[in-house]
Structure 1
């Protein structure tokens, strides 16, 4: 192919001109001045790139020199690190402990995951001072919070105890502050295992996630009294002392469900009723997340009667997989970590048991109550999906005393001449309880 320039070019320009021309596929190539300027412009850009390349190479050399000095300084600093820290840096970071879901660990970046493993191992070994191969104060706090949420079984630490950190240039000495003496741990662990065996032993071999969640929910409520004690913030309060506050309830639920193979998260936040914060759980039931709040499920005092204090084996199922929008109207989650959304109602206790009503129908409620009595139940409980239906039920059953028809059926069924009944309502959940 012959190439004929349309105008004269200098040797340098011609070289570039022909270089570009040889890449063309056309059988005949023609150039005008506009194309030439483009080619020349390309050359100028190439020239500038080369110039900048030289400049960048020079700068890179300077940076490399500074970087080399920095590395030398870092090596000099690291030479003063304790041997424990040097050994920590050589370890690979395990992505799982093989037993728990560690939901919050999975949210951490790689460097914070290393911190997490270092602190957790030290806590598990009951080390008074734990070496951490990081000097990032905020990262250490965050990972410690993640450990508290992921590992209720290390109950000798909890969120109420003061921690101490000595931060050096490249590492930290972390002191967790233990709540329970090391010699007390085996006794509590024995109680934990006994509780697990009791719950697991009561489940059918093919029990699903919901059945496991319900069994754990009931066990914790029926074996714990809400109250303050030295260990009320951990599961030791539940399994050993049988007295705890919300943190203890939530930790115990998480421990048992995770032992049963159900992913369970420990969640903190605020509620309308508590100025001191609250703790509850989110459980993964067959791939869908639900709220569980065993603390609020343990409150028989809502019954409208002076005899309510005599009710011991009382479980409020409203907080077992509650409707998300109803629960979220009373609880706001802390946002240090992201959490899965709870959006489904399939495993809501009332939905599962056919006691959730779309609308108020006096005959439908009466038939449901009679069916429960026939099955031996002394507690009749049901909920409505809407506030309007709930208010209609209150007006008829309680204010209009239509509930007396249910009481009369109960007396007839058991051959009684007299009966005293009590009732309770949970307005936030549109629920009505009758105890006969």
Structure 2
């Protein structure tokens, strides 16, 4: 199967893509390629690394062009010296093989969940934004990463497990306070395309009240769902039109009736557990949200407890638990991906 972004390129760019692939793989100091304009060359280099995140050592480039020449001299910039790159290559190959081995016989959906859960359990967001956090060696080698590195790690693991996966990237939006572009994945499960944003799920659910429960607010979303809080993609990707198989609906944790929310809240208050649910009984307006909060609080009062509620409003996901020691209900607004202000440059 052709790499996704490669398949969208014209013949000239594909020739350059092949030359760069060969040169970067062999750790060449210079690579002779057919002439492209600077912005086109950047696009080919950038998209090659989206198709092949296992090439983690190529961080940038310069180029030389001689007048009247039909070629360019491409000069790669490497993250490490060549001996160190080879050490990291060996370590990353062994790491990916080890991580993927337990899930070899899983279904496609189970493999996707396995990769997602690994990220959420083992990778933390790198607020210092080290250079290697943009590559797979951050999440897979150091346990840290930014969205670009996390999306690349997801793709490498999905590739190893035979799950169709690409990396999607959107632009910034200063008017909304979104300073940097964001990166996530699109997967194909049972023949249908879905958005998977392990970074957003990884940044949710870190409050002390609720512990470190894995979240699935961005697991197998449709275009309609994901673009509620993601900007449009910079490069064309497959349409994700199925909105019926996202995680919470598959697990029967998506509700359309308020009485069902009330019943589950009563059970949660009785058992002293934490409960995460999705609301799809129409738009989650402020009025509907107030009603749901009142229902959850009422369930707690019946058990002489007060509600602690966490809300991801854009994705209509509520998480709640109950406690005896607080005087008033606590309601926390969650903001996935630190308000989308993550630097993925």
**Structure 2: distance between partners of 1:181 and 1:275:** 32
CA spacing shift, 1:191–1:171, aligned 2, 3 Å: closer
Structure 1: distance between partners of 2:277 and 2:180: 31
Match of 1:361 among 248, 258, 268: 258
Confirm or deny: 8 A CA contact 1:258 1:264 kept in the other structure.
Answer: yes
> How far apart are residue 145 of structure 1 and its match?
2.1
The secondary structure found in structure 2 opposite 1:297 is helix
Show CA shifts across 1:131-153 (max 9, x none). 11x11225433321220210100
**Where do 1:163-312 residues align within 5 Å?**
163-168=61-66, 169-185=69-85, 186-187=87-88, 189-191=90-92, 193-201=94-102, 203=103, 205=105, 207-227=106-126, 228-270=129-171, 272=176, 274-300=178-204, 303=207, 307-308=208-209, 311=211
SS of aligned partner of 1:428: coil
Deviation at residue 378 of structure 1 after TM alignment: 3.7
Give 3-state SS (helix, strand or coil) of 1:387's partner: coil
Aligned length: 312
| Deviates further, 191-200 or 234-243 | 191-200
Does residue 381 (structure 1) correspond to residue 315 (structure 2)? The answer is: no
How has the CA–CA distance of structure 1 residues 167 and 256 changed in structure 2, closer, same or farther, with 3 Å as cutoff?
Answer: same
**1:422 corresponds to which residue?**
308
User: Structure 1 residue 323: deviation in Å?
Assistant: 4.0
Distance 1:223-1:195 versus aligned 2 partners, 3 A rule:
farther
Q: 1:170 to 1:330 in 2, by over 3 A?
A: same
Unpaired runs of 5+ residues, structure 1, are 1-95, 409-417
CA distance in 1, matches of 2:273, 2:83: 45
Structure 2 stretches lacking a partner, 5+ long: 323-345
Q: Structure 1's 140 and 326: CA in aligned 2 closer, same or farther, altered over 3 A?
A: same
Bigger drift between 272-281 and 238-247 goes to 272-281
- Larger helix fraction of residues: 1
Choose 226-235 or 250-259, whichever is displaced more.
226-235
Of structures 1 and 2, the one scoring higher in RCO (CA 8 A, sep 6+) is: 2
- Report the 3-state secondary structure (helix = DSSP H, G, I; strand = E; otherwise coil) of the residue aligned with 2:132: coil
Conserved? CA contact 2:269–2:299, under 8 Å: no
Alignment partner, residue 332 of structure 2: none
- Write out per-residue CA displacement over residues 323-346 of structure 1, whole angstroms, 9 at most, x where no aligned residue: 4213212222343x3211111123
Residue 165 of structure 1: how far off its partner (Å):
0.9
Partner of 1:411: none
8 A contact 2:64–2:72 mirrored in 1: yes
- Residue 352 (structure 1) aligned to one of 250, 255, 265: 250
Please list the CA deviations of residues 287-308 of structure 1 after superposition, one character each: whole Å capped at 9, or x if unmatched: 21111111111124675xxx35
Q: What per-residue deviation string (whole Å, max 9, x for no partner) do you get for residues 105-155 of structure 1?
A: 1111222211111101111111121111x1122543332122021010001
What's the secondary structure of 1:176's corresponding residue? strand
What is the aligned-residue RMSD (CA, Å)? Answer: 2.9
Return the alpha-carbon distance in structure 2 between the equivalents of residues 424 and 195 of structure 1. 35
Structure 2 CA distance, aligned partners of 1:372 and 1:182? 56
Q: For 1:229 and 1:156, how far apart are their aligned partners in 2?
A: 14
Q: Could you state the TM-score of these two structures normalised by the residue count of structure 1?
A: 0.64
Q: 1:115 to 1:434 in 2, by over 3 A?
A: same
- Contact 1:299/1:314 (8 A) holds in 2: no
Asked whether 1:404 is paired with 2:311, we answer no
TM-score (norm. length: structure 2): 0.80
CA shift in 2, pair 1:419/1:153, >3 Å: farther
